[in-house]
């Protein structure tokens, strides 16, 4: 068997994948003997990407098997040959393990091998994650949907194709997941559903109830309001757009309402206060991993979004005049911008590029052993720094909120903060003003200083303490003006109390007016007030009323 294996390698004969997996031959050793220079080149390249000797040996063993299945040498593999032979090799390995995902001794080397072969130009762009190790979501594929409900699938896929022309691939992927999930629910619970035109309100309500009962993130009970709102929003957009676009397969009206989306809380952004931020940055400088230090310091000192950080390229640092700036990629709001680059971040980027293998095929700045890092890698770096600083849970976007809050509390204008963060309009930046509004704080302490001086200067006295007129403030003066209005039969009298009125006794002069003896003290007081003010006519009216009361028997 050993002789046959050597002969197959030497002649470039394609070997059956089942024999390669189960034959027990040491294919890595055979291919290394036959193609010694190819082995040395591969070893140098894999080591240059950061793989250790043990990992490199396992990758070479798997690459040798893939090359034997393709019937060629490792250096001669084309991307198409590598993809096909790798799939056949992995399929037979899974079958050998009874249909279960093989041990990490297989999955991990293949994961690294994909990155090395990509930079060698012999494989497609590798995935960021080990997708074959993750459990599939509870949803069906389009082939299944097309087989059971071809019209329904055709309408949904036509809609997705149009969305792909104007939206980001990540957004289209989310729409795709929602529609496949909704279609899978319809096929399971309403087998007779074969077209979008037949979808009614009760189907949407059933899906909404089913969706709310699914497990949440990492096994948490129930989906979050954000996820529920996202799914219902996708469906509402789908129905609204296909009706607007005049599709043939449409319902009579949109069966998803705006009220189907849960009302989300709008809490203030979470940020680190000055003491926490100082501890966090001190811990960031002590991180042993250079990639972790670069990730955390760049996020904290630029206020970038996580997605913008992952999209940085090796030419992102530019010099304008005597200063260095960081050019962010086109991100969430479809815009790019230049950010002033902190000297410490500039040094970290320069050091990172100095140790980066120059032959790599990708121009992304942040690569981990030749592979673009996933968002979870950024989360882990921030979480590790927070743990070293003795803080609780900290997420990457929290560093963005922290920088914005620090800036607004130290006098930076909202316009400048909006430009730094890449906001479209100031309404997005105003949320930070709710956290650290210096104008509100200054006015508050100015007023409290007046009040404290009142408390400090007050002494026990029989006369009331008088404040200056401006101490009440504009708002309180307006309240006082409202309170001083007097209710009339058909409105209010806003005459200041200091001014006289010739009609003040108009009711007492009316023939329909009457009074009784219990009101005599009040009338006497009114009469004395009129006499004191020199209002003779008014005093005569009250004198008449008093005489009438005195002459009337009890």
Task: Tell me: pLDDT of 501 over 80.
Answer: no
Task: Tell me: pLDDT of 21 over 90.
Answer: no
- Check residue 177 and give its pLDDT: 92
pLDDT digits (tens, 9 = 90+) for 467-480: 565 555 555 555 45
> 367: which residues sit within 8 A by CB, 6+ positions away?
356, 360, 373
Q: Is 499 exposed, middle or buried (0-12, 13-18, 19+ CB in 10 A)?
A: exposed
Q: pLDDT band for position 241 (50/70/90)?
A: very high
549 or 137: which leads in pLDDT? 549
The pTM is what? 0.61
DSSP codes of every residue in 352-395:
HHHTS-TT-S--BS-EETTEEPPHHHHHHHHHHHHHHTT-----
Find out whether 45 and 74 touch, Cβ atoms under 8 Å.
no
Range 360-370 average pLDDT: 89
Range 229-257 average pLDDT: 95
Range 437-462 average pLDDT: 56
Q: pLDDT band for position 336 (50/70/90)?
A: confident
pLDDT digits (tens, 9 = 90+) for 291-320: 999 999 999 998 888 988 999 999 999 888
CA distance 47 to 53: 7
Rounded to the nearest integer, the mean pLDDT of the chain is: 81
> 216: which residues sit within 8 A by CB, 6+ positions away?
222, 223, 224, 227
CA distance 336 to 98: 50
Task: Tell me: pLDDT of 131 over 60.
Answer: no
Task: Tell me: pLDDT of 427 over 80.
Answer: no
Which residues of the chain does CATH 1.10.443.10 include? 274-433
pLDDT digits (tens, 9 = 90+) for 388-399: 999 988 999 999
Question: What percentage of residues in the chain have a pLDDT greater than 70?
Answer: 78
Task: Tell me: pLDDT of 411 over 50.
Answer: yes
CATH class, range 142-260: mainly alpha
> 356: which residues sit within 8 A by CB, 6+ positions away?
314, 367
Highest mean pLDDT of the ranges 98-102, 127-131, 320-324, 367-371: 367-371
- Check residue 508 and give its pLDDT: 72
CATH code for residues 274-433: 1.10.443.10
Three-state secondary structure along 435-470? CCCHHHHHHHHHHHHHHHHHHHHCCCCCCCCCCCHH
Task: Tell me: pLDDT of 489 over 80.
Answer: no
CA distance 100 to 97: 6
456 or 35: which leads in pLDDT? 35
Task: Tell me: pLDDT of 499 over 70.
Answer: no
- Check residue 446 and give its pLDDT: 63
pLDDT digits (tens, 9 = 90+) for 62-87: 999 999 999 999 999 999 999 999 99
Which residues of the chain does CATH 1.10.150 include? 142-260
Range 519-545 average pLDDT: 84
Task: Tell me: pLDDT of 400 over 50.
Answer: yes
pLDDT digits (tens, 9 = 90+) for 149-172: 999 999 999 999 999 998 888 889
Lowest mean pLDDT segment, chosen from 51-55, 181-185, 481-485: 481-485
Range 29-57 average pLDDT: 91
Range 187-198 average pLDDT: 92
Q: Is 276 exposed, middle or buried (0-12, 13-18, 19+ CB in 10 A)?
A: middle
């Amino acid at each position: 068997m050993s002789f046959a294996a050597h002969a197959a390698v030497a002649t470039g004969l394609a070997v059956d994948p089942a024999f390669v997996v189960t034959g027990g031959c040491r294919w890595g050793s055979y291919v290394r003997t036959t193609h010694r220079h190819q082995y040395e080149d591969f070893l140098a390249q894999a080591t240059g990407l950061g793989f250790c000797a043990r990992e490199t040996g396992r990758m070479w063993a798997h690459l040798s098997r893939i090359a034997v299945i393709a019937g060629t040498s490792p250096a001669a593999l084309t991307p198409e040959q590598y993809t096909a032979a790798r799939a056949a090799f992995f399929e037979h390995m899974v079958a050998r393990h009874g249909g279960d995902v093989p041990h990490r001794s297989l999955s991990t080397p293949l994961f690294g091998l994909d990155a090395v072969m990509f930079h060698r130009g012999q494989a497609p762009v590798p995935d960021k994650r080990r997708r074959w190790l993750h459990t599939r979501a509870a949803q069906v594929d389009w082939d299944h949907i097309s087989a059971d409900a071809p019209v329904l699938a055709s309408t949904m896929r036509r809609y997705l194709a149009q969305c792909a022309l104007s939206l980001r691939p990540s957004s289209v992927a989310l729409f795709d997941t929602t529609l496949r999930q909704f279609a899978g629910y319809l096929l399971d619970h309403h087998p007779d559903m074969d077209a979008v035109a037949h979808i009614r309100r009760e189907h949407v309500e059933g899906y909404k109830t089913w969706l709310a009962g699914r497990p949440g993130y990492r096994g948490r009970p129930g989906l979050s309001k954000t996820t529920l709102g996202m799914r219902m929003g996708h469906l509402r957009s789908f129905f609204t757009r296909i009706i607007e676009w005049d599709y043939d397969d449409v319902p009579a009206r949109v069966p998803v309402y705006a009220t189907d989306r849960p009302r989300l809380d709008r809490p203030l952004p979470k940020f680190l206060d000055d003491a926490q931020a100082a501890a966090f940055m001190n811990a960031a400088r002590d991180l042993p991993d250079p990639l972790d230090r670069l990730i955390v310091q760049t996020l904290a000192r630029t206020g970038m979004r996580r997605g913008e950080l992952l999209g940085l390229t090796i030419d992102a640092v530019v010099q304008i005049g005597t200063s260095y700036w960081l050019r962010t990629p086109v991100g969430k709001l479809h815009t790019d911008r230049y950010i002033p680059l902190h000297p410490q971040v500039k040094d970290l980027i320069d050091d990172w590029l100095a140790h980066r293998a120059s032959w790599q095929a990708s121009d992304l700045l942040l690569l981990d052993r030749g592979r673009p890092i996933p968002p979870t890698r950024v989360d882990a770096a921030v979480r590790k720094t927070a743990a070293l600083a003795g803080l609780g849970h900290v997420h990457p976007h929290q560093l963005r909120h922290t920088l914005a809050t620090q800036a607004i509390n130290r006098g930076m204008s909202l316009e400048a903060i909006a430009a730094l963060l890449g906001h479209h309009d100031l309404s997005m930046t105003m949320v930070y003003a709710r956290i650290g509004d210096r104008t509100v704080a200054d006015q508050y302490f100015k007023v409290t200083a007046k009040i404290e001086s009142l408390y400090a200067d007050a002494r026990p006295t029989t006369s009331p303490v008088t404040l200056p007129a401006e101490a009440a403030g504009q708002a309180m003066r307006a309240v006082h003006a409202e309170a001083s209005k007097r209710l009339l039969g058909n409105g209010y009298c806003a005459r200041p109390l200091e001014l006289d009125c010739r009609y003040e006794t108009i009711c007492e002069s009316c023939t329909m007016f009457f009074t009784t003896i219990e009101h005599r003290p009040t009338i006497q007081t009114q009469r004395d007030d009129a006499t004191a003010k020199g209002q003779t006519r008014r005093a005569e009216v009250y004198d008449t009323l008093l005489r009438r009361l005195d002459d009337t028997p009890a």
